[in-house]
Amino acid sequence: MKIAIAGSGAMGSRFGFMLHQAGNDVILIDKWDAHIKAIQENGLTVNYNGTEKVINIPIYRPDEVKEKVDVIFMFTKAMFLGSMLEEIQPIIKEDTQVVCLLNGIGHETVMKQYVSLENMLIGVTIWTAGLTGPGKIELEGTGSTEIQNFKPGGEEKAKEIVKILKDAGLNGIYSEDVKFSIWRKACVNGALNATCTLLDATLGEMFETDQAISITKNIVNEFVQVAEKQEVQLDFEDTVEYIIKTSHELGHHYPSMHQDLMQHNRLTEIDYINGAVARLAEEYGLKAPTNALITELIHAKEQILNAK
Amino acid sequence: MKIAIAGSGAMGSRFGFMLHQAGNDVILIDKWDAHIKAIQENGLTVNYNGTEKVINIPIYRPDEVKEKVDVIFMFTKAMFLGSMLEEIQPIIKEDTQVVCLLNGIGHETVMKQYVSLENMLIGVTIWTAGLTGPGKIELEGTGSTEIQNFKPGGEEKAKEIVKILKDAGLNGIYSEDVKFSIWRKACVNGALNATCTLLDATLGEMFETDQAISITKNIVNEFVQVAEKQEVQLDFEDTVEYIIKTSHELGHHYPSMHQDLMQHNRLTEIDYINGAVARLAEEYGLKAPTNALITELIHAKEQILNAK
């Protein structure tokens, strides 16, 4: 199976590595020059549950890649999804399956502009991955990856991709309702990412404050209302409880948005998490002032820090 | 005239200094040991528009002061108003006038518990003052101080105090509607203080972001609605314009809340600014989600920084 990973940061590289190890013909695609150079010269260095491995795997810039592929896993940052799909048009065949595994909500709208509905799959993964430098990743723990065809009738092809993921140890699961899982993950991120970023705090520090539960409830409540309009039934109490549990389990972690903005001075995915809820609420005539303010504060912080 | 300054930080010391220079018998009251010791040993050192002066002026801890006074100017941080009034009960005579010049909203409720309505005055000052170390203040620029009797019938006494302020160069103004001025100042602080603190930004940095106007409008809108319930007519457009103008004039300044929390690790007055609006909105059955979230984020930040 010829597979492309579009966006080969930490998580993309994990998928690339594991799919390659399972015997697939994998190519990586990325835009970070130092990362590309390191992999081209020295291979991809993977610390896999404590053991270091180096694999030779092709990596290209999006405007250089020409080989047609059977499956593409999209792993860009949310704001770069459209430009990536635009640039990699040459590798998409009539039946190339494109699997969107980005964080956040609402990527279908962008995907549809570049991929036929029959070939579109959406999903969510709870694997973790760390990039420790150009060409170097660190993988530990376990996870799973739920996917589903976007259009009814595509179950068979979706299940083929689930098998590929299973065979590579990526614990693929065919989901009958992947939208629920996507919204639930987005809601968890929506409650934890931006608040810890604004407060410059770990999950544990944030959740030790007297205000954490109240802030979380206000955020989740708006997610639940908007999700309902999208025919996704997020349970308020369950979700709040799940977020609190997550904050305990990952207490000493800074969430990825904090890493992006506060540590690496990069733009965040806020428009696809809290910002998506604020925007959809407005479309539906609902109110989402908490998510709207959080989104504006994060964008203001991006500008103050001159994030790129 | 025997005058006490209850809370002799930067602004209290300015009033104490200027009232003393005008020939009044002034005593300072404060709780900061190093500040008290410095003033008792070396006097109060004042850099007054570039010229250094040292004055000998008595300073006491609140539990030490016994001399009855004619007028007390309250200049504590908002959260210490009640405890200060409790401790200085021995200096209050039957006709001692107590003038509340604290930042923020809702101090009447606390004042009433310790001062008879006939002797209560409220006001607002736009002078500035800086504390450069224990016993040392820096004063520049100009300002004014509006005051009004709390209870109808107290105009005459209020005007006597206005005259004392005028004679001391503090530009006293008798106000027919001091509540408007208090709300307007609180709204300006509400729009600028907490946001710049959360974003760790100067007023200029905050107002250069694309989000500043929208965030400001959401904050001001909630202030306007709550003020109306208190029979204070804050004009939305005027107030927003005034805030933008202020942000330009003081572009390179960090607001006082930023200084308190981010620079000196002190608790903030948020409960008397944005927090007061959130609380009053709830009492009136209105919604103030923007001010509520801002208040919660600031309190969370206080706890994360272990502010005292």
Q: Which residues of B touch A304 (CB under 8 A)?
A: 199-201, 205-206, 208-209
User: How far, in Å, CA of A210 to CA of A193, rounded?
Assistant: 18
Task: State the average pLDDT for chain B.
Answer: 96
Output the pTM of the full model: 0.90
CB A101 within 8 A of CB A121: no
DSSP code per residue over B248-271: HHTTTPPPHHHIIIIIT-----GG
pLDDT in tens, A101-130: 999 999 999 999 999 999 999 999 989 888
The answer to whether residue A301 neighbours chain B at the CB level (below 8 Å) is: yes
Asked if A279 and A287 touch (Cβ cutoff 8 Å), the reply is no
Identify the pLDDT of residue A128: 87
From-to residues of CATH 3.40.50.720 in chain B: 2-176
Q: Do A300 and B212 touch (CB under 8 A)?
A: yes
B265 touches chain A (CB under 8 A): no
| Whether pLDDT at B166 is above 90 | yes
Amino acid at B4: A
- Residues of B in Cβ contact (< 8 Å) with A201: 300, 304
Per residue in A73-85, pLDDT tens?
999 999 999 999 9
CATH architecture for the domain at A2-176: 3-Layer(aba) Sandwich (3.40)
Q: What is the pLDDT of residue A107?
A: 96
How far is it, in rounded angstroms, from Cα B234 to Cα B256?
23
Backbone angles phi, psi at B88, to 5 degrees: -95, 15
Give me the mean pLDDT over the B180-207 stretch. Answer: 96
Condensed to tens digits (0 to 9), the pLDDT of residues A248-268 reads 998 998 998 998 999 989 999
A176, with CB counted inside 10 A (0-12, 13-18, 19+), is exposed
Beta bridge partners of B42: none
Nearest-angstrom CA–CA distance, A115 and B59 = 76
Beta strand B130-133 pairing with B172-174? unpaired
Q: Do residue A303 and residue B218 have CB atoms under 8 angstroms apart?
A: no
Strands (E), A12-103: 25-29, 44-48, 51-55, 59-60, 69-74, 92-100
Q: pLDDT digits over A272-301, tens only? A: 999 999 999 999 999 999 999 999 999 999
Tell me the per-residue pLDDT of B32-75, one tens digit each, with 9 for 90 and over. Answer: 999 999 999 999 999 999 999 999 999 999 999 999 999 999 99
Assess contact for B278 and B104: CB atoms under 8 A: no
Q: What is the pLDDT of residues A18-31, one digit of tens each?
A: 999 999 999 999 99
Cβ-contact A5, A29 below 8 angstroms:
yes
Say if residues B199 and A304 touch (Cβ distance below 8 Å). Answer: yes
- A291 close contact with B: CB closer than 8 A: no
Partner-chain contact A211 B297, CB within 8 Å: yes
> Least CB-CB distance to B198: which of A198, A209, A210?
A198
Task: Report pLDDT digits (tens) over A131-182.
Answer: 999 999 999 989 999 999 999 999 999 999 999 999 999 999 999 999 999 9
Q: Which residues of B264-292 are buried (b: 16+ CB within 10 A; e: fewer)?
A: eebbbbbbbbbbbbbbbbeeeeeebbbbb
- Indicate which of B200, B206, B211 best probes the interface with A, i.e. most A CBs within 10 Å of its own CB: B211
Q: Does A294 sit within 8 Å of B289, measured CB to CB?
A: no
Crossing angle between the packed helical segments B289-304 and B274-283, to the nearest 10 degrees: 130
Of the candidates A185, A217, A301, A308, the residue annotated as catalytic is A185
Q: Of A210, A289, A304, which is closest to B303 when you measure between CB atoms?
A: A210
For chain B positions 213-232, those within 8 Å of chain A (CB to CB) are 214-215, 218
> What tokens were used for B277?
């609006």
The C-alpha of B209 sits at a distance from chain A's nearest C-alpha, in angstroms, of 5
Q: State the pairing for strand pair A145-149/A51-55.
A: unpaired
User: Is A205's CB within 8 Å of B304's CB?
Assistant: yes
Q: What fold characterizes domain A179-304? A: N-(1-d-carboxylethyl)-l-norvaline Dehydrogenase; domain 2 (1.10.1040)
Tracing tokens 């009855």 back to the chain, one arrives at: B68
**Per-residue confidence (pLDDT) for residue B250, from 0 to 100:** 87
What are the chain A neighbours of B206 within 8 Å (beta carbons)? 300, 304
Buried b (16+ CB within 10 A) or exposed e, B125-138: bebbbbbeeebbbb
CA nearest B299 in A: which residue?
A211
Which residues contact residue A306 at a Cβ distance below 8 angstroms, ignoring those fewer than 6 apart? A265
Question: Which alpha helices (DSSP H) does A1-94 contain, by range?
Answer: 10-21, 33-42, 81-87
CA distance A253 to chain B (A): 15
Closest Cα in chain B, distance from residue A284 (Å):
19
Dist. CA B143–CA B134, nearest whole Å: 24
Q: In angstroms, rounded to a whole number, what is the distance separating the alpha carbons of residues A286 and A288?
A: 7
pLDDT in tens, B17-40: 999 999 999 999 999 999 999 999
Under a CB-based contact definition with an 8 Å cutoff, are residues B89 and B114 in contact? yes
Nearest CA of chain A to the CA of B111: how many Å?
28
The maximal CA–CA distance of chain B, rounded, in angstroms, is 55
Q: Which of B136, B179, B185, B301 is catalytic?
A: B185
User: Closest by alpha carbon to B186, among B255, B266, B134?
Assistant: B255
Size of interface A-B (CB pairs under 8 A): 85
Q: Which residue of A has its CA nearest to B306?
A: A209
DSSP-derived 3-state class of residue A153: coil
Q: Is B163 a catalytic residue?
A: no
Which of A211, A299, A304 lies at the smallest CB-CB distance from B296? A211
Query: E strands along A175-308, which residues?
Result: none
Return d(Cα B286, Cα B264) in angstroms, integer. Answer: 35
For the stretch B224-253, pLDDT in tens is 999 999 999 999 999 999 999 999 998 999
Supply the ipTM of this predicted assembly: 0.89
Residues carrying CATH 1.10.1040.10, chain B: 179-304
- Per-residue pLDDT for B128 more than 90? no
So what's the pLDDT on residue B117?
96
Is B209 in CB contact (< 8 Å) with chain A? yes
